[in-house]
Amino acid sequence: MTVRRRRIGGYGRSIVVTACVFGLSATLTSPVRAQATPAVQAIADEITTLRDAHASPIAASDALAELARRRYGREDLPGARAALDAAVALNASTEGEADPQRALALARALGTRARLNHEAGDYPSAIADAGRALALRRAQPDPDPAEIATLIYDQGRAHDGRGDHEKTEAAALESYEIRRTHFGQVHEKTADSLNLYANALAAQGRHAEADPAYRQVLGMYEVLYGPKDWHVAIVLSNLGNSLRRTGRASQAAPLYRRAVAIAEISGDKVLLAQCLNNYGWFLHLQGDGRKAETQFRRAQSLVVPLIGDSHAFVGVLRANIGYALLDQGRAAEAEPEFARGLALLEQGMGTESPDLLDTLAGAASTQAALGRFAEAEALHKRIGLIAAARLTPGHPEGLKGGGAYAAFLLERDRPGDALNELRTSLGPLTSRTSGGRDWRVAVRGARPLFAQRVEAGWRLAAQPAAMSAFSGPDRSSTP
């Protein structure tokens, strides 16, 4: 089966994408939208006919799994899911699991359903199905290491979808070690696992560690697929992010441009939009708002026909356009872009997500530029409330927000208020001791997509020496 599906890789500012081919494993995915779904009765009739045509539950299960792949190829997710549920049910019993061959057929069906669940965005079910299939595979007399590694990798991708980046890292590394031993170093599956590992490191802000992993993956993909393949474009863009975040912008620039050039010839509009977004954010950070705006607007024109104008990724692009306009002194034009971007991100992630902070900061700067100081201050206060409730004590994003608010207050000739704001934001740093307090008690209900990033931040927060080196999430991160 070679039908590829890609997903928008996240709501952040640069794209760290993973991928799959249904029934196989690869390196990039995108939203699958079910098109013309057949009538439920027609699906049920086809499943019944196929099941009755095979005397063996093993053969029937495998035939139903193949039917699911065909249905998926026609973008009929409900039909594919119904076929896989039937395949699982054939052997999912104490009697079935006691028979090694039936247990193996069940593992095959569960593994395929795990990948379908991942494509549908049901990450908990994907993790559960892959875990159950993994247990059945490992219980076999002679377990297949390739299948074991694939299921571990699939679990890692599902953890990545949930934002559980530490679990992603562990699963990616385990699958990489198995695949490297089984397939060799330069193999597409080995490279996929290493790529997922690098993505997990980058999502935790560990860009110095991600850098060499991305470079190794880049070399592997160039050998495997050629220098102009879409796999290469993804890694180039992700490596550019890591270089930029570690202060090597001059090295990042040509990687972004090469990624865009490859995406141009790939014919993949989602990939091109992601690479344009990454490059645009890089240009914005370099102070070139005009060129950044061009990249963001083109990315928007590419994805809106595919995912609609209400997707959170469109919210990212709208807010990024706002930043590009603000760079050019066009605050009045930036205002509606930030407003629409913020509304879409709130809809996609909730009103208290830490991933809103940069959009709120841009909106505050816009209001201040328009002379609406009360509105700007209200946005700064909202940033502080979200940071206090959802980030680690002394988190870089919280400190950045506090510093921006203090600067705003100084510009309003309110030095006393500015000093109080700085004291508030710096308080967790100045009062920290080595006494071993567990900072995790302050999570206060962080959403799943952000929880693992928060946990990683705490471990760094407990190491004063690491604080100066830690670069927090910015407008180009995707976890």
Take residue 404 and report the two structure tokens written for it.
Answer: 């921006």
pLDDT of residue 348: 81
Going 212 to 284 to 233 to 300, the CA torsion angle's sign is: positive
Q: Which amino acid makes up residue 75?
A: E
Q: How far is residue 25 from each of residues 155, 172, 192, 299, measured CA to CA in Å? A: 12, 13, 8, 27
Are 212 and 194 within 8 A, CB to CB?
Answer: no
pLDDT of residue 157: 94
Take residue 418 and report the two structure tokens written for it.
Answer: 């500015």
Positions in the chain whose pLDDT score sits under 50: 1-12, 15, 17-38, 432-451, 454, 461-462, 464-479
Take residue 298 and report the two structure tokens written for it.
Answer: 């083109």
Q: Give the three-class secondary structure for 205.
A: coil
Going 100 to 105 to 108 to 111, the CA torsion angle's sign is: negative
pLDDT digits (tens, 9 = 90+) for 418-436: 998 888 887 766 554 444 4
d(CA 35, CA 173): 36
pLDDT of residue 69: 87
Q: Which amino acid makes up residue 353?
A: S
pLDDT of residue 439: 40
Take residue 340 and report the two structure tokens written for it.
Answer: 């629409």
d(CA 358, CA 373): 18
pLDDT of residue 202: 87
d(CA 310, CA 304): 8
CA atoms within 13 A on the CB side of 442: 18
Q: How far is residue 431 from each of residues 35, 47, 259, 425, 469, measured CA to CA in Å? A: 57, 65, 45, 11, 20
Concatenate the DSSP letters of all residues of 33-64 into one string: ---SPPPHHHHHHHHHHHHHT-SSHHHHHHHH
Angle at 423 between CA 326 and CA 400, to 5 degrees: 30
Q: How far is residue 307 from each of residues 247, 263, 278, measured CA to CA in Å? A: 34, 18, 19
pLDDT of residue 199: 92
Concatenate the DSSP letters of all residues of 344-408 into one string: HHHHHH-TT-GGGHHHHHHHHHHHHHTT-HHHHHHHHHHHHHHHHHHS-TT-HHHHHHHHHHHHH
Q: Which amino acid makes up residue 91?
A: N
pTM of the predicted protein model:
0.75
pLDDT of residue 410: 93
Best CA proximity match to 298, nearest among 266, 260, 254: 260
pLDDT of residue 473: 37
Best CA proximity match to 345, nearest among 313, 305, 307: 313
Question: CB neighbours (10 Å) of residue 363?
Answer: 26
Take residue 381 and report the two structure tokens written for it.
Answer: 């206060």
d(CA 258, CA 408): 39
d(CA 380, CA 142): 60
Best CA proximity match to 280, nearest among 301, 265, 266: 301
d(CA 226, CA 255): 16
Are 327 and 287 within 8 A, CB to CB?
Answer: yes
Angle, to 10 degrees, between the axis of helix 145-162 and the axis of helix 165-183?
Answer: 160
